[in-house]
Amino acid sequence: MKEKLPESIFSTDMYERVFNHARIMMAISSVKNGTFVEVNEYFLSTLGYSREEIIGQSSKSLGIFYDYSERDDAIELLKLTGILVDFEAKVKSKSGNILFVLFSINKVIIDNEEFILTSGVDVTPQRTSEMISRNLLKQQQVLADISQILNSTDSFENTINNVLSLIGEHTKVSRVYIFEDSDDELCTSNTYEWCGAEATPQISELRLVPYEIIPSWKPILLKEGKLISSNIDSLPEDIVSILKPQNIKSILVYPIMIKAKFYGFIGFDDCTTNREWTLSETELLRAVTGAISNSLERKVILKKLTESEMRLKLAMQSANEGLWDWSIATGNVYFNKQWCNMLGFEQGEIEPNIKSWETLVHPDDFGFVTQTLNRHLKGETANYETVHRVKTKSGDWKWILDHGMVIERGADGEPLRAIGTHIDITLQKQTEAELAKLLDMKDKFFSIIAHDLKNPFVTLMSFSEMLIDDFNDFSPEEIKANIQRILETSQITYNLLENLLAWARSQRGEIVLKPEYQSISNIVDDASSVFRMMYEKKKIRLINEIEVSDKALIDKNTITTVIRNLISNAIKYTNPGGEIIIRSSRNENNLLISVTDTGMGITPAELNKLFRIDTRLSKEGTSHERGTGLGLILCREFMEKNNGTISVKSTPRIGSIFTISFPVSAGITI
């Protein structure tokens, strides 16, 4: 039987208008059985019920409280105090949506009957913003921690295992693993693994797995760039037959590419539920895959260096090595044909004595070479071995591995005769130099990640903590402003990650250009729209003077990255109230796009450091914005891939003009 509300409660129109038109949820329920006797319109619209569905029913029968024990706790507190203020609980709408509501509860006596008057404020948007901020902060902290681990001096195995453990615990997946392919690319092996409590380790079982038993696996990874499924039964049968015995229910796998070549893959399994992979999870794991790929590439380079050193040792045993035979007493030296030919001489063109050899050794190397030789002649070392430069007939320099030993000594131990070999290792030295340069670039890359990913965290943490700890002390406008600052900092961090990932993909040769005729003006509009909030906040006028008809045969993705970075830099270093103009022009051979700002400008010394990762330049913008110095390096590489160039003219305190140029011969048209 429905409770009837005493008529006296709405004895005046004023009370009825206040109740029904209030912008908070209001309800009156019976103390005896908890049934609703009256609710206002905002209560109905917020929860999605009609009046007929609510009146006479209780919150328990309708299942309004997500956890009914929260309602019981509130009633117990009400009994003790007679009034309850700002009691937060989760409620469910009719459609099943979860809402966060801040309740105030009073007991009221009407015509000698006891009722409960409840009012509630929907604070779901604020709680959602807090959760998003926490999640974003946590993900960025995880990426920074991973970058720090990968840049550590710990052993490679410990480093990778620590990264897998960190990402596994953060995402709460069941298993994280890395597979590396065999040299012939026909098999793959599980080389690193982290398992949660619910997963069974597989690393000892999955060794040299032939790709022929899972023919669908690699083609999917190469074509789609990932393999993702919330229910493995939806995958091809050959893949299901491998995953089912491992008790895998859902899976996410990314390929590991090194130098544009399929090297293996990294996977994330859930063995407990059919997990729906969220966008934030897939983006986080994609970024982790990129960082691990770079670390594995460094491992490959170091392995090649070790193999190169071993090959040098073995090369000494080859039949093509040069031979020398030195009579120490007379100073005469026999140089065989291979020794002479290696330096571009015919046998007989070099005087057969020690002085001839001394004149060919590079002056910078001569000191340590003779010192090493003299130590052996004195008997201090078992043999003589150096790597040094020797002049060829053409005047060039070759790197030589020179190895020998004294084979005859006099009665007093004085050296009488020595023989030895020398081999040309110029190619190996060049390879080592290139590998060392690559290693240096990788180290600088990890250093950039470890250093610059931490910078936005101070802002994110401070404003997030303020929102979480002092939420009720802020006005709606202050809450919105703080969330806006979090969004801006997140955008800066996201742009940094985009540049880092794009640079890493470029270094691994994964970027494939697809030239098409594109409107430069449209690309500029799209790129600048991303930064509208930033330049409007600084009251900067951004003017696009490029005609829509100005088109070029370019790869849209890489050129968009170039223009986005140039606009971002111009905004960063332009004074508030300044101006940025983007223009097009032509000369005889090129289409030119210039980005002109009225900013702080660049000194001549700083200009020499632009576009180079080995002399990284990073300075604060006019509003203390931070930068990595990586954006312009990426611009240069992408312009070169599009057969174009990038240049800059700048005057300190006046501004800068960055110009990108596309050659007409590349198919540019207007």
pLDDT in tens, 434-472: 777 766 666 665 655 555 555 566 566 666 777 777 777
CB distance 344 to 394 below 8 Å: yes
What value does the mean pLDDT take over residues 306-324? 54
**Where does 134-186 show beta strands of DSSP type E?**
175-181
Cβ-in-10-Å burial (0-12, 13-18, 19+) of 177 comes to buried
| pLDDT(269) > 90 | yes
3-state secondary structure 340-354: HHHCCCCCCCCCCEH
Tokens of 386: 């150096």
Which phi-psi region, left, alpha or beta, contains residue 113 (left: φ > 0; alpha: ψ -120 to 50)? beta
CB distance 287 to 501 below 8 Å: yes
The domain over range 322-430 is classified in CATH as 3.90.420.10: no
pLDDT single digits (tens) 359-373: 999 999 999 999 999
Q: Which of 531, 537, 540 is nearest to 481 (CA)?
A: 537
Dist. CA 158–CA 135, nearest whole Å: 27
Q: Say which CATH topology domain 130-308 has.
A: Beta-Lactamase (3.30.450)
What value does the mean pLDDT take over residues 542-565? 86
pLDDT level of residue 312 (50, 70, 90 thresholds): very low
Inter-axis angle of helices 455-469 and 476-507, nearest 10: 150
487 versus 208: which is more confidently predicted?
A: 208
Cβ-in-10-Å burial (0-12, 13-18, 19+) of 385 comes to middle
Q: Which of 30, 34, 28 is nearest to 16 (CA)?
A: 28
pLDDT single digits (tens) 407-443: 888 777 889 888 888 888 888 888 777 777 766 666 6
CB atoms inside a 10 Å sphere around CB 660:
24
Q: Name the CATH code of domain 7-122 (choices 3.30.450.20, 3.40.50.2000, 3.40.50.2300, 3.40.50.620).
A: 3.30.450.20
Question: What is residue 492's predicted lDDT score, i.e. its pLDDT?
Answer: 63
Dist. CA 269–CA 246, nearest whole Å: 10
CB distance 91 to 99 below 8 Å: yes
Q: Which of 225, 276, 226, 224 is nearest to 250 (CA)?
A: 276
Which has the minimum average pLDDT: 129-138, 479-488, 606-615? 129-138
Question: What is residue 189's predicted lDDT score, i.e. its pLDDT?
Answer: 92
Dist. CA 494–CA 126, nearest whole Å: 23
Dist. CA 361–CA 332, nearest whole Å: 17
What value does the mean pLDDT take over residues 74-103? 85
Task: State the amino acid at position 638 in one-letter form.
Answer: F
Is residue 122 within a helix (H) or strand (E), and if so which, with residue range? strand 113-122
Dist. CA 566–CA 594, nearest whole Å: 9
- Rounded to the nearest 10°, the torsion over CA 592, 597, 598, 599 is -130
Strands 551-555 and 83-92: unpaired
Burial pattern 151-162, b for ≥16 Cβ within 10 A else e, equals beeeeeeebbbb
Question: What is residue 668's predicted lDDT score, i.e. its pLDDT?
Answer: 34
| pLDDT(224) > 70 | yes
Q: What angle do CA 273, 278, 284 make, to 5 degrees?
A: 110
Q: Mean pLDDT for the chain? A: 81
Burial pattern 360-369, b for ≥16 Cβ within 10 A else e, equals bbeeebeeeb
Same fold for the pair 130-308 and 322-430: yes
Q: Which of 112, 234, 220, 126 is nearest to 480 (CA)?
A: 126
CATH of domain 512-666: 3.30.565.10
Strands 579-586 and 590-597: antiparallel
pLDDT single digits (tens) 584-621: 988 877 889 999 999 888 888 888 877 776 555 566 66
Question: What is residue 221's predicted lDDT score, i.e. its pLDDT?
Answer: 93
Dist. CA 552–CA 670, nearest whole Å: 7
Question: What is residue 96's predicted lDDT score, i.e. its pLDDT?
Answer: 86
* Residue owning tokens 């070099």: 350
* Residues in contact with 391: Cβ distance below 8 Å, sequence separation at least 6, in sequence order: 343, 359, 360, 361, 362, 397
The domain spans of the chain are 7-122, 130-308, 322-430, 512-666
Question: What is residue 569's predicted lDDT score, i.e. its pLDDT?
Answer: 86
| pLDDT(283) > 50 | yes
Question: What is residue 511's predicted lDDT score, i.e. its pLDDT?
Answer: 67
234 versus 290: which is more confidently predicted?
A: 234
- DSSP letters of 87-116? EEEEEE-TT--EEEEEEEEEEEEETTEEEE
Q: Tell me, what DSSP letter sits at residue 614?
A: T
Question: What is residue 7's predicted lDDT score, i.e. its pLDDT?
Answer: 53
- Rounded to the nearest 10°, the torsion over CA 610, 615, 621, 624 is 170
149 versus 69: which is more confidently predicted?
A: 69
Q: Which of 594, 604, 581, 595 is nearest to 651 (CA)?
A: 604
10 versus 402: which is more confidently predicted?
A: 402
pLDDT single digits (tens) 242-256: 999 999 999 999 999
Strands 187-195 and 175-181: antiparallel
Q: Where are the alpha helices (DSSP H) in 538-583?
A: 556-573
CB atoms inside a 10 Å sphere around CB 238:
13
Q: Which of 13, 9, 1, 8 is nearest to 27 (CA)?
A: 9
